[in-house]
Amino acid sequence: MQQKINRKHPELLMPAGDMQKLKTAIRFGADAVYLGTADFGLRAHAGNFDLEQLRIARELTREADVALYLTLNASLRPEEFTALEHLLEELKPVDLDAYIIADPGVLTTIRRIDPQRSIHLSTQSNSCNPQTAEFWGSCGVSRINLARELTLEDINAFSGQTEVELECFVHGAMCVAHSGRCLLSTALLGRGANQGDCAQPCRWNYALVEETRPGESFAIEEDYRGTYLMNSRDLCLVEQLPQLLAAGIDSFKVEGRMKSLYYVATTARVYRDAIDRLSVDPADIDPLWQEELEKVSHRPYDTGFLFGHDDAKIHAADTHYIRTHDFVGFVRRDQNGLWVEGRNKFVLGDEIELIGPAMKQETFRVDEIQSLTGEPLVAGQPNSQLRLRLPDWADEGDLLRLQRVEN
């Protein structure tokens, strides 16, 4: 059996789709981050890291005492292993904390080229029982990500029957297939989900066609926006963390390498606060956590299969995102002090909220906007560089958001 870690609190594992998101995840409370290169991960269109960026990421995470994991969890074709071997040789001196894999061939290749590297098993491997965990443990895997199809009862059984570290998703997008092992994108578009290039056809609007009338489609009338037969809800388990803590989970993972900088900051600050407080008092659930998570763009939230398959709420009636707030600015610093990089439009007189780590947040009125050269402006725009009168505690890396006005 693998030796299980002995951590005071479970790890908060955050996505890092690019360098700025990595820095944001660190600043807003991640214990560990996961990222990918251009090859062999399952997010081909994320802002992936080249070798030099990985070296920088390694330096940043080491300085912050944050673990760094690299995704190599695609299903490889025979001709791809030469490139994998070359990449692994280049990665050895970067000294990453672990590789996240799913393909047994990738595992054996790592064991041959970089035998001391820790290996974590991806959700792609559908680990549904403790016997599977022990098998992978015997192959040298130190951690497995639990299949999202498991119930809380299943998870408790896992924890009691294996010494392999257990990781589970607590937030983010879910998949209508068995933990992502889907051929729909390949069949319709030739874009392989298991090679990181899923087009998400499960989110599309579908209609019914009768075979003798190929030119006519009939709406199934799921709702006024369309018919979404395979669309999934988003997972949100912040209020169920006490049960998962009691089950002995070692790492709580947030999905979202393709999500925004604002998403990374908001989910990291909420789950950091929740893990810290609930590890001390499991009854200390703060309604603010759910309120804050409602302020990021998301599909309808639910608890997935956690409380049983009969009551599982996976399917969502439409694929449209719920957006109550816009991310309008990112705080930066230069030799003259703090300034704001605009991300969405706001104008003089708007009530804007500044958010920072440790659940810091404050609403203030925009009473002055200037360019970096001191010229007065009436609005902030995407990609603009400007100065605002910010709250006293503002610092580089904080974010600005604006509540949407209902039409």
**Among the listed ranges 64-68, 134-138, 178-182, 305-309, which one has the minimum average pLDDT value?**
178-182
Residue 149's nearest CA partner among 10, 312, 299, 11 is 312
pLDDT given at position 1: 37
Answer for the pair 12, 175: CB distance below 8 angstroms, yes or no.
no
DSSP notation for 179-197: TT---HHHHHHS--GGGT-
- The string of pLDDT tens digits covering residues 233-268 is 899 999 999 999 999 999 999 999 989 999 999 999
Q: What are phi and psi of 391, to 5 degrees?
A: -55, 155
Structure confidence at residue 149 (pLDDT): 86
Contact 254, 268 (CB under 8 A): yes
List all residues 6 or more positions away from 407 whose beta carbon is below 8 Å from its beta carbon.
none
SS3 category, 167? strand
176: pLDDT strictly greater than 90: no
Structure confidence at residue 55 (pLDDT) = 97
- Residue 196, sorted as left (phi over 0), alpha (psi -120 to 50) or beta, turns out to be left
Distances (CA, A) of 406 to 323, 324, 325, 403: 11, 9, 11, 9
Does the pLDDT of residue 222 top 60, yes or no? no
Amino acid at 138: S
Q: Three-state SS for 201?
A: helix
Question: 335-375: per-residue pLDDT in tens?
Answer: 999 999 999 999 999 999 999 999 999 999 999 999 999 99
Residue 149's Cβ-side half-sphere holds a number of Cα atoms within 13 Å equal to 14
Pairing of the two strands 165-173 and 234-236: antiparallel
Give the model's pLDDT for residue 4: 46
> Between 63 and 42, whose confidence is greater?
63
Mean pLDDT, residues 120-134: 92
Secondary structure (3-state) at 204: coil
Domains of the chain: 11-174+233-302 (3.20.20.60), 177-231 (no CATH), 325-403 (2.40.30.10)
Q: Which of 40-44, 82-86, 290-294 has the lowest mean pLDDT?
A: 40-44
> Does the structure show a pLDDT above 50 at 5?
no
DSSP string, 52-97: HHHHHHHHHHHHTT-EEEEEE-SPPPGGGHHHHHHHHHHHGGG--S
Does residue 65 come out as left (phi exceeding 0), alpha (psi in the -120 to 50 range) or beta? left
Q: What's the average model confidence in pLDDT over 150-161?
A: 90
SS3 397: coil
- Measured distance CA(336)–CA(146) in Å, rounded: 48
Residue type, 239: E
CA distances from 156 to 94, 133, 162, 213, 383 (A): 36, 14, 11, 52, 48
Assess whether pLDDT exceeds 70 at residue 127: yes
C-alpha to C-alpha distance for 119 and 139, rounded to whole angstroms: 10
Which residues have a Cβ under 8 Å from the Cβ of 351 and sit 6 or more positions away?
363, 364, 365, 366, 402, 403
Of 267, 247, 243, 245, nearest to 257 by C-alpha is 267
What confidence score (pLDDT) does residue 305 get? 87
Structure tokens at 259: 């999500």
pLDDT > 50? residue 306: yes
Q: Which of 101-115, 293-307, 338-352 has the lowest mean pLDDT?
A: 293-307
pTM > 0.85: yes
Which CA distances in Å does 327 have to 126, 153, 230, 263, 354? Answer: 35, 38, 29, 9, 10
pLDDT in the model for residue 402: 98
**194 vs 406, higher pLDDT:** 406
User: Which of 38-47, 200-209, 341-350 is most confident?
Assistant: 341-350
**Hey, CA dihedral for 307, 121, 22, 256, is it positive or negative?**
negative
Residue 3 has what pLDDT? 42
Q: How far apart are CA 262 and CA 231, in angstroms?
A: 24
Mean pLDDT of the chain: 88
The band of 209, judged by pLDDT with boundaries at 50, 70 and 90, is confident
| DSSP β-bridge partners for residue 325 | 403
Q: Helix (H, G, I), strand (E, B), or coil: what is residue 112?
A: helix
Q: At CA 392, angle to CA 390 and CA 395, rounded to 5?
A: 75
Looking at residue 47, its pLDDT comes to 66
Average pLDDT over residues 100-112: 96
Compute the average pLDDT of residues 41-58: 81
- Look at residue 183 in the predicted model and tell me its pLDDT: 63
**DSSP for residue 4:** P
- Condensed to tens digits (0 to 9), the pLDDT of residues 387-400 reads 999 999 999 999 99
